[in-house]
Amino acid sequence: MNELTVNELHLDYGTGAAANQILKGVSMHLKKGEVVALLGPSGSGKTTLLRAVAGLESPKAGTIQIGERNVFDGAQHFEMPAEHRNLGLVFQSYALWPHKTVFDNVAYGLKLRKMGSTEIAARIKEVLTQLGLGHLGERYPHQLSGGQQQRVAIARALVYNPPVILLDEPLSNLDAKLREEARAFLRELIVRLGLSALMVTHDQGEAMAISDRILLLNNGKIEQQGTPQSMYETPDTLFTAEFMGSNNRLPGKVVQREGQHVRLLVDGASMQGVARGANVGTEVTTMIRVEEVKISATQVDNAIELPLLTCMYLGDRWECLFERGGAENISLRAYSRHKLEAGKYWLHMPADKLWVF
Amino acid sequence: MIMPALAYAGVLVFFLGFEVFGLVLVLGDPEGHLVLPTYLYKLTNKLGTPSYHLMAAVAVCLVMVTMPLVMIQRWLLKSANKYVSIKGKGARSKAMPLGRWKWLAFALLAGWLIFTIILPLSGIVLRSFVQYWGEGVHLADVLTLQHFRDIFDQPSLVRGIVNTILIGVVGGALAVACYSFIALAMHRKQDGITRLLDYSVLVPRAVPGLLAGLSFLWVFLFVPAWLDGILKGMDNGVALWLSGHVIPVLREVRSTIFALWLAYSVVWMAYGMRLISTALLQVGPELEEAARAVGASRGQVTRDVTLPLIKYGLLGAWLMVFLIFEREYSTGVYLLSPGTEVIGAMLVSLWAGGSTDLVAALSFINITLVAIGLGIALRFGVKLHN
């Protein structure tokens, strides 16, 4: 059963000739207990889509349904106000009310729902304990750390059991170390409480770690959607492939196509690659994920030979940069377990990982 | 960060320049320096017949000047979102350390305070306690409380003092409540009505208080008569009842302090509104959106989130409006009648009558009132700066 259905949503900022199209026909759905990430670069419309679902932006056309309820129907000019949609919303800045204590911040949604004060106290105790905030009820937001503020914001959105919880860049205000912990905490919380969540993020790592399904938005349209694995390992478009991971681009020329198999000429060497996407012409973009490039000191097939420029220490491994300047400048990045000596290396690229778009 | 406040202050001070009346009346007049308001005031006094038509013409010119200025201000503040400073992340602002420059800044401020506030004020206080002064007069010999006794002997002056307190405290609170309603109605909306309101609240401010007072006199004189005419013409029961009961009440409003309050509130609306909307501007929109998302209607958002967040802004606005209403004089000059005396307007007429003693004593009382108001406001946690 779908908790949330969005159909052909169009949204403009401004009107008439100055209208700036933000969403150009987006459709999506969210099943019960599913976590969907809206991923995309800034300006792709992901936050606007979330705000339209929450009722904070007015779309121009399309429909939005929450469960069985119609909350927006462009054809009938129906728009349910945000306060009647009964959704949980977590803001990027947390938007905690500075004049209320943690308890009052979380309790506000229940008070509006006319719950008795003893019930409220019990429910809040339960939620704050679930989020590891049990002892902080009397504090004010400015007395909390960033991570605690974020959990209060989540508690405030969860406390009245909304069918869907919307998260707008929930981790982007935390520093890098805390972000990894919060990521694990958020995933664990969502699974433990069986939440249905829609999360906006611009960080593909975050999207892959937390969500069951990713919707990649590009310029107001859905570029591709699927599970994190399918998005990462079998991208359909160059945009998806480039957005989802760290990549090397190679100057390749198509020599011959046999179904999915493509024979290429890269830097004078003959290579085997695999065709992805819809392009069947000769003007192609060739790319490979950084972690798929294998470094070899001796000659191997499906490889090109390049001199080492430098190695960067990343802690668990080295990232090595190979480059040859000159007329046909070519550079490649690859990971290595150990620091490499200066010299020339063969860089092997598995045929099924060398993508031709 | 304080660009909106600066831009608005600039526009207001410019209008104040048009408007300043008392200072010029006392200082400039004997030497023949005239500005528009004193010129108008004198026209009425010297020609014998009030030259209302000239006054109205000048007022229209001033309103014309207002429009381009408001446009400039709106253009400066086009993206008001840039100036949001109360966000939901609970950060605090810090004072800027000045280091060694602290002493220079302190000296400049102290000098400014002494020359602009302490010296003139102590002059007024002194004058109110002596019979006369001048070269060779030993002040201790002429100390007296007679001026204050004179004031309390005159019922109209006592009424003036009571009225001033009422209009400052109660009227100020009512005015802030009205301004808040308008400011909240305009909050977070960018449409034609908001723009129209933004322009229209500044218009009364562009007109010198003297003229504004005069126009309110006209309103109270002519509108009841005009309404009466319409109602009589309608010739039905309700209209006749209205004409018999409501119109006399409306006519009487002119000689009550309500008339004065209305005039003051409208004249100072631009200023009061800006105090409130500057406070509103500092409330991050997502704090209100968060409340709507958890299920609060617009009214509940205003009551539970927006108003508590601008609480100090509102108290500060009340304080400022109180101070303004206490010392406002020009607006009240034409509305001065038995029952609507206020200290400011009485000062102008007493000064014209030459009773310097009473002017000084009344001024002293007024300054005391303002100081008490300031003290109470500070006691209740109004922050003059935050």
Q: B40-64, pLDDT tens digit by residue?
A: 666 666 555 556 666 667 667 766 7
Q: Which is nearest to A355 in space by CA: A258, A259, A248?
A: A248
Residues A182 and A269 in one domain: no
Residues A264 and A196 in one domain: no
* A&B contacts, CB < 8 Å: 91
Domain count within chain A: 2
Report yes or no: B297 and A80 within 8 Å, Cβ to Cβ.
no
Residues A34 and A118 in one domain: yes
Q: Determine how many CB atoms are found less than 10 A away from the CB of residue B153.
A: 9
- Residue range B366-381, pLDDT digits in tens: 888 888 877 877 776 5
d(CA A130, CA A127): 5
Split at pLDDT 50, 70, 90, the class of B382 is low
Helices (H), chain B: 3-19, 22-23, 36-47, 52-76, 101-113, 119-129, 146-153, 155-166, 172-186, 192-206, 209-234, 237-253, 257-267, 269-281, 285-293, 298-301, 307-309, 311-327, 343-353, 356-379
Split at pLDDT 50, 70, 90, the class of B22 is low
pLDDT computed for residue A7 by the predictor: 93
Residue ranges of domains in chain B: 3-81+145-379, 102-144
This prediction's pTM: 0.75
A265-273 long-range contacts (CB < 8 A, ≥24 apart) are A266/A304, A267/A304, A267/A306, A267/A324, A267/A328, A267/A330, A269/A303, A269/A304, A269/A305, A271/A302, A271/A304, A271/A349, A271/A351, A271/A354, A272/A302, A272/A351, A272/A354, A273/A349, A273/A351, A273/A354, A273/A355, A273/A356
How, if at all, do strands A213-218 and A35-39 pair?
A: parallel
Residues A253 and A206 in one domain: no
Option in A99, A112, A149 nearest B295 (CB): A112
Residue B231, phi then psi, degrees to nearest 5: -65, -40
Where is pLDDT greater, at A18 or A47? A47
- Where is average pLDDT lowest: A50-64, A132-146, A234-248, B339-353? B339-353
pLDDT computed for residue B81 by the predictor: 47
Where is pLDDT greater, at B340 or A286? A286
Residues A39 and A108 in one domain: yes
Residues A250 and A236 in one domain: no
d(CA A351, CA A245): 18
Total length of chain B: 386
Residues of B in contact with A149 (CB under 8 A): 89-90
- From the CA of A268, how many Å to the nearest CA of chain B? 54
Determine whether the interchain pair A141/B91 forms a contact, defined as Cβ–Cβ distance below 8 Å: no
Report yes or no: A173 and A93 within 8 Å, Cβ to Cβ.
yes
Q: Is the pLDDT of residue B385 over 50?
A: no
Q: Is the pLDDT of residue B383 over 60?
A: no
Look over chain A and give the mean of its residue pLDDT values, rounded to a whole number: 90
Split at pLDDT 50, 70, 90, the class of B312 is confident
In percent, how much of chain B has pLDDT > 90? 4
Residue finishing a domain among A180, A210, A242: A242
Where is mean pLDDT largest: A204-208, B26-30, B208-212, B312-316? Answer: A204-208
Q: How far is CA A319 from CA A294, A340, B189, in A?
A: 12, 10, 52
Which pair of tokens denotes residue B75? 């253009």
What CATH code is carried by the domain that includes residue A132?
3.40.50.300
Helix, coil or strand: residue A351: coil
Locate the chain B residue with the closest alpha carbon to A159: B294
Q: Is the pLDDT of residue A179 over 50?
A: yes
Average pLDDT over every residue of B327-340: 73
Burial class (CB in 10 A: 0-12, 13-18, 19+), B84: middle
pLDDT computed for residue B10 by the predictor: 73
Residue type, A250: L
Residues A295 and A316 in one domain: yes
- Residue range B77-88, pLDDT digits in tens: 555 544 555 555
Q: Which is nearest to A253 in space by CA: A237, A269, A242?
A: A269
In percent, how much of chain B has pLDDT > 70? 66
Q: Is the pLDDT of residue B92 over 50?
A: no
Q: Which is nearest to A240 in space by CA: A228, A251, A255?
A: A228
- Residue range A20-42, pLDDT digits in tens: 889 999 999 999 989 999 999 98
Split at pLDDT 50, 70, 90, the class of A333 is very high
Residues A252 and A160 in one domain: no
Split at pLDDT 50, 70, 90, the class of B66 is low
Residues A57 and A178 in one domain: yes
Determine whether the interchain pair B290/A55 forms a contact, defined as Cβ–Cβ distance below 8 Å: no
Residue found under tokens 């056309």: A61
Split at pLDDT 50, 70, 90, the class of B386 is very low
Locate the chain B residue with the closest alpha carbon to A143: B90
In percent, how much of chain A has pLDDT > 90? 59
Q: Is the pLDDT of residue A73 over 60?
A: yes
Residues A309 and A221 in one domain: no
pLDDT computed for residue B199 by the predictor: 65
Q: Is the pLDDT of residue B3 over 80?
A: no
Residue found under tokens 């209302």: B52
Residue finishing a domain among A209, A242, A275: A242
Split at pLDDT 50, 70, 90, the class of A312 is very high
Helix, coil or strand: residue A55: coil
Average pLDDT over every residue of B167-174: 89
d(CA A165, CA A154): 9
d(CA A225, CA A223): 7
Q: Which A positions 122-151 lie with beta carbon below 8 A of chain B?
A: 140-144, 146, 149
Between vectors from CA B183 to CA B181 and to CA B184, what angle results, nearest 5°? 65
Look over chain B and give the mean of its residue pLDDT values, rounded to a whole number: 74
- Residue range B105-151, pLDDT digits in tens: 888 888 888 887 788 778 778 777 877 777 776 767 777 777 888 87
Residues A181 and A278 in one domain: no
List, in sequence order, every residue forming a beta bridge with A322; answer none if it has no partner.
Answer: A308, A332
pLDDT computed for residue B89 by the predictor: 46
- Residue range A273-303, pLDDT digits in tens: 998 887 777 788 899 999 999 999 999 989 9
- In CATH terms, the fold of domain B3-81+145-379 is MetI-like fold (1.10.3720)
Determine whether the interchain pair B293/A54 forms a contact, defined as Cβ–Cβ distance below 8 Å: yes
Residues A89 and A30 in one domain: yes
Domain span at residue A294 reads 246-356
Q: Is the pLDDT of residue A130 over 70?
A: yes
Residue B91 contacts A where some CB pair is shorter than 8 Å: yes
Determine whether the interchain pair B91/A99 forms a contact, defined as Cβ–Cβ distance below 8 Å: no
- Where is average pLDDT lowest: A99-108, B40-49, B332-341? B40-49
Q: Is the pLDDT of residue B168 over 90?
A: no
What CATH code is carried by the domain that includes residue A296?
2.40.50.140
Q: How far is CA B166 from CA A8, B172, B376, in A?
A: 61, 9, 15
- Where is average pLDDT lowest: A346-355, B144-153, B160-169, B327-336? B327-336
> Best residue in B84, B86, B89 to probe A by mutation, most A CBs within 10 Å?
B89
pLDDT computed for residue B338 by the predictor: 72
Strand ranges across the sheet with A269-275: A247-250, A286-289, A355-356, A269-275, A261-266, A252-258
Q: Is the pLDDT of residue B12 over 70?
A: no
